[in-house]
Chain A
Amino acid sequence: MDNKPKGLTLLDGLSALGLLAATLMVFFYAPVEAVMGPVQKVFYYHVAAGWVGMLSFLFAAFSGGIYLKRGDMKWDRLSVAGVELGLVFSLINVITGAIWARPIWNTWWTWDPRLTTVAIMLLVYAAYLMLRAGIDEAEKRARFGAVYAIVGFISVPLTFFSIRLSRTIHPVVIGSSDPEALGKFNMTGPMSATFVVSLIVFTILFFDLLWHRYRLAKFAHQIEIARSADSAIEGE
């Protein structure tokens, strides 16, 4: 096993400091929003997590495509790492969203296009993990995973589009599920600064975790090789 690369240690520190800085900014720098009050502060993490979730899935589809072209297992490991991180961040996105929606929209959940799309997206990638779990042979698992990561990622904007279209043609009667209408606010200077910092910090965190997850997969692979070498010696 190789030692932890210096770059990764650096990235670890950067993520930790960044998260600390972003949190401090959220609580002490960004002003309390006039109408919604302190709960609005969840917005900074909520949007950043949503952005990183999408970035992860895009990354997974992209790495899957490269795996199919090159057949190098490295890209499969990156693709899986992307999906797993995407699931985590999207879940953070949904949960923080629900925390915000409870006081603002007066409900934990609405069938708003964005919300629904993220929920369906979570199901797509849960299906991805199930597909992989059902296949024993590593290369086949990688190929199928890559194909599904691509198909799934393409379906996401179509899903969003179809749900939004269905809302505009049929106006929603019970309550307003349009985030533009209820809970909309204008960002002041410090708010924008905090928002941008959160976005950057979460993106750094994404690459940090991606690297860790990739190394984990590589080590798992090396252990598998070592094990099979052991059993081969026993078999002789």
Chain B
Amino acid sequence: MEPVIQVSRLVKRYGIKPALRGVDFSARAGEFVAVLGPNGAGKTTFLRILASLVKASSGNIRVAGYSLPRQAAEARLRLGMLGHQPMLYGDLTAAENLLFFARLYNLPDAGKRIETVLDQVGLLRQRNDLVRTFSRGMQQRLAIGRAVLHNPQVLLLDEPHTGLDQEACEMLDALLRQVASQQRTIVLTTHDLARAAALASRFDVLSHGKFLASTAADQVPPDGILAFYRQALEAAR
């Protein structure tokens, strides 16, 4: 079976500064990959390239069976992304925001789907409130709802736990586990190792624009992820 995400020899330079230096990566359906790495490792750039928001300088990228950037529109239909910013409209209500994105993705039976998603992220009661009035945590929850609205085959999450309180984090984790159980592919970047350990089925370490190590979650003892991470970074020195 073809991997859902297939990346080979990916290079991205900003001007003359290399952000990614020949990255190889692949993920299958049902895999939940946590990309770990220090700040400036290239994690965000990597996700934004997978999301077709940024063009690679060179390399081959296939997402959900479509080659980027050539078939980007096809790929975009099948991927969802949660970035640093919520990508929502303050002057629309929660439900209107989701309805807008449902239209962009041409979802059938949008009303019902929006209901389900709002329930999942715990915002059903606030559905008719303007997003402007939401707290940071509530906005992030709605942003998560926006990312999974079209039930994407590939879900890309860039530091999704930032700015969330304990309750919201648990809600997000539950939602992610549920998505993962549906044979979806999730790639999550984080530097919160404990959180990654609790969720992911695979850990990849990215540093200075290269993947240094990769391991399946069941190969690492529950409290061994920090050791694995340090070892990967040490070995590269």
Contact = CB atoms under 8 A, between A and B. Distances in A.
On whether A and B touch (CB less than 8 Å), the answer reads yes
Interface of A: 137-139, 221, 224-225, 228
Contacts of B104: none
A224 B14 contact: no
Contacts of B17: 228
Contacts of A139: 14-15
Contacts of B1: none
The prevalent SS among residues of A at the interface is: helix
13 contacts: A137-B14, A137-B15, A138-B14, A138-B15, A138-B16, A139-B14, A139-B15, A221-B16, A224-B15, A224-B16, A225-B16, A228-B16, A228-B17
A137 B16 CA distance: 10
A231 B73 CA distance: 40
A138 B16 CA distance: 9
Interface in B1-20: 14-17
A104 B42 CA distance: 65
Nearest to B15: A138
Interface in B28-77: none
Contacts of A224: 15-16
B123 to A, nearest CB: 36
Given A221-B16, A225-B16, 8 more contacts: A137-B14, A137-B15, A138-B14, A138-B15, A139-B15, A224-B16, A228-B16, A228-B17
Contacts of B14: 137-139
A34 to B, nearest CB: 59
Greatest chain A CB density within 10 A among B14, B16, B17 is at B16
Contacts of A137: 14-15
A75 to B, nearest CB: 16
Interface in B96-148: none
B209 to A, nearest CB: 12
A221 B15 CA distance: 10
Nearest to A221: B16
Contacts of A138: 14-16
Contacts of B15: 137-139, 224
A202 to B, nearest CB: 35
A224 B13 CA distance: 14
7 tightest A-B CB contacts, nearest first: A138-B15, A225-B16, A228-B16, A224-B16, A137-B14, A137-B15, A139-B15
Nearest to B14: A137
Interface centre among B14, B15, B16, B17 (most CB of A within 10 A): B15
A116 B75 CA distance: 50
A224 B14 CA distance: 13
A137 B17 CA distance: 10
Contacts of A221: 16
Contacts of B16: 138, 221, 224-225, 228
A224 B16 CA distance: 8
A231 B204 CA distance: 28
B93 to A, nearest CB: 34
A138 to B, nearest CB: 4
A139 B54 CA distance: 12
B39 to A, nearest CB: 14
A51 B14 CA distance: 37
B66 to A, nearest CB: 21
A228 B15 CA distance: 11
Nearest to B17: A228
Nearest to A138: B15
